[in-house]
Structure 1
Amino acid sequence: MARFHVPTIDISAWVGPGSPDARAAVVAAVDHACRTVGFLQVVGHGIPDAVIGDLETGLDAFFALPLAEKKRFVRPSGENRGYSPPKSESLSYSLGVDPVTRMNDFFEAFNVGTSWREYPGTSATAEDYAENTWPTGVDAFAPAVQTYFDEARRVAQTLTRIFAAALRVPDDFFDDLTDHSIDVLRMNNYALPPGSIELGAELTGMGEHTDFGLVTVLWADRVAGLQVLGADGSWNDVSPAEGALLVNLGDVAARLTNDKWLSTLHRVKPPVVDGTIERRRSAAFFHDGNADAVIAPLPGFVTDEAPALYEPVTVREHITAKLAGSRAGRRNDAAVREAARVVAASRG
């Protein structure tokens, strides 16, 4: 079997002017990555270095606050906004898999997303598109995060145009699925106070999971931790190339293509370097699709030999079940196919 590899693809031909041949080459490379790995790295994405630098400064300022101060910004789990303290989640539950301990994902996070107010004239409601909570007393945070959010959304929308070409559907196919998309930016901090654990003890940075929506655009430190499940059941270390963004497909993409494109399992192990835990930061932009969009395999991916693997479901129904697993500790028993892959990997 071929060595596990996450390809790096220059998408600049789709970000700015590009020749038909250059664009076609990007489409072919993305399609191959989606069918074989479910992960890729993109360069030529057009996000200025200064925007990412400001994001890092904002993250550092917020996560440096005392835990008690950060907990002031905790929101109810179903709203997917605000602060999540360490060990308050378990991503394995989103797949219907029991983790080693009940809530053992040792990362902290802060979530912002699109508000229903940004989608006038649509069916968006506050239930699915909650207002944001912005931390007070951290002046660098909100403007830097909002600027990066807008840039990451632009990259995600560029990718959906590439996806449409790769899937040979109309250029505007994804517009109907994403014109009031549930878009969330989750900023993660993997860091532990000195002496808080015994190195070598069972500890999960973020449990194995698939992403919920259409596509994820990830900025991350070049620090070890992210692992991706290979086709042979092995876990493989993945770190972004200099200046690259990691991109992976979510469950919506897998459902649309009847699993011809992969929503690949991944996890984050504690970033231990030479026996010492090293800090790791990431910012994952989730482009999930409209809450009321009905997702089912596209006709071109369903045949007598390859029947539909999924029943139709709305994005809202799918995400609600996954969040109830990761945040509220209720195992998502609907994730049958994903759970089987986790179990198989643990036996490999």
Structure 2
Amino acid sequence: MSHQISMASEHRAEEADAGPPSSSSPPATVPEIGISCFAFPEKGSERCREEVVCQVLAACTNLGFMNVVGHGVPQPIIGGLLEALSEFFRSSLEQKETCVPSSQNLTSRGYTHYKAEEVDVFLTRPRPRALREAFSFGPADHQNGRPFGTNTYPDFIPDFRPCIDAYYTEMERLEKVMLEIFTLALARASKAAP
């Protein structure tokens, strides 16, 4: 599978007229679900796997969100990615612009300027510009970068590429784990459906 990951640097702006949503209901709590019995199957029991499937099904059915822990992504890889991206977003605009996707390469990977994207999830009003900048990347070894194009790496941050590639490799592994969990949760849901 080939997917693209986009990491963003949020900006605060006075022009963003986003106040807290008005609601009489209390804010929802995002469930934290430990998936170590799937990430490390040799250490997990069938009972643990069943509990995880039930928790994921409940999270998807009720809130639609979950925080996954026990996924096995090494902390040094997460920390390396965060440090590389922090260094990138702290760089000058001139440096970041060397990573703007090339329209000739038909790629969406690389740097996206602050306010370059339009955002309106409901498509009901004039679209405001996104108050963020982003850096998108995908698998390093995808044949010819198709269909999304090849990754663009900043040459002014020496450790950037190894950090991005290591993180993406971990996300591909985690994707397989999550797909297994979702498949089992969907099977359970279809059995329970009337």
Q: TM-score range by the shorter chain?
A: 0.7 to 0.9
- 2:61: which partner in 1? 35
Q: Is the 2:73–2:170 contact (alpha carbons within 8 Å) kept by the matching residues of 1? A: yes
Q: Deviations over 1:103-153 (max 9, x none)?
A: x211111111136x536xxxxx75523111111121121111111111122
Please tell me the residue identity of whatever aligns with 1:71.
E
2:28 is paired with a residue whose SS is coil
Please tell me the residue identity of whatever aligns with 2:161.
A
Alignment of 1:58 with 2:101, yes or no, is no
Number of aligned residue pairs: give it.
Answer: 165
Task: Classify 1:22/1:147 alpha carbon distance in 2 versus 1 (closer, same or farther; 3 Å).
Answer: same
Runs of 4+ in 1 over 2 A off after TM superposition: 76-79, 94-101
| Larger fraction in strand | 1
What is the rounded CA distance, in whole Å, between the counterparts of 1:140 and 1:76 in structure 2?
Answer: 23
- Give the drift of 1:3: 5.6
What is the rounded CA distance, in whole Å, between the counterparts of 1:99 and 1:4 in structure 2?
Answer: 29
Alignment of 1:15 with 2:39, yes or no, is yes
- Give the drift of 1:67: 0.4
- Give the drift of 1:58: 0.7
What is the rounded CA distance, in whole Å, between the counterparts of 1:64 and 1:143 in structure 2?
Answer: 19
Q: TM-score, normalised by structure 2?
A: 0.74
Alignment of 1:96 with 2:115, yes or no, is no
Alignment of 1:106 with 2:131, yes or no, is yes
Mapping of 1:156-175 within 5 angstroms?
Answer: 156-168=175-187
Task: Classify 1:99/1:112 alpha carbon distance in 2 versus 1 (closer, same or farther; 3 Å).
Answer: same
- 1:129: which partner in 2? 148
What is the rounded CA distance, in whole Å, between the counterparts of 1:98 and 1:138 in structure 2?
Answer: 40
What is the rounded CA distance, in whole Å, between the counterparts of 2:28 and 2:187 in structure 1?
Answer: 27
Calculate percent identity across the aligned residue pairs. 32
Q: Deviations over 1:209-243 (max 9, x none)?
A: xxxxxxxxxxxxxxxxxxxxxxxxxxxxxxxxxxx
Query: Which protein, 1 or 2, shows the higher relative CO under an 8 Å CA cutoff with sep ≥ 6?
Result: 2
1:114 is paired with a residue whose SS is coil
Alignment of 1:45 with 2:64, yes or no, is no
Alignment of 1:75 with 2:101, yes or no, is yes
- Give the drift of 1:62: 1.3
Q: Deviations over 1:23-77 (max 9, x none)?
A: 0000000001001111001111111111111112211221121102211211157
Q: Is the 1:51–1:144 contact (alpha carbons within 8 Å) kept by the matching residues of 2? A: yes
Please tell me the residue identity of whatever aligns with 2:134.
A
- 2:29: which partner in 1? 5
Q: Is the 2:119–2:127 contact (alpha carbons within 8 Å) kept by the matching residues of 1? A: no
- Give the drift of 1:97: 3.5
Across the aligned residues of Structure 1 and Structure 2, the Cα RMSD in angstroms comes to: 2.7
1:6 is paired with a residue whose SS is coil
Gaps of 5+ in 2: 1-24
Please tell me the residue identity of whatever aligns with 1:7.
P
What is the rounded CA distance, in whole Å, between the counterparts of 1:132 and 1:97 in structure 2?
Answer: 34
1:108 is paired with a residue whose SS is strand
1:167 is paired with a residue whose SS is helix
Mapping of 1:1-348 within 5 angstroms?
Answer: 4-16=28-40, 17=42, 18-76=44-102, 79-92=107-120, 95-99=122-126, 101=128, 104-114=129-139, 118=142, 126-168=145-187
2:151 is paired with a residue whose SS is coil
Task: Classify 1:44/1:127 alpha carbon distance in 2 versus 1 (closer, same or farther; 3 Å).
Answer: closer
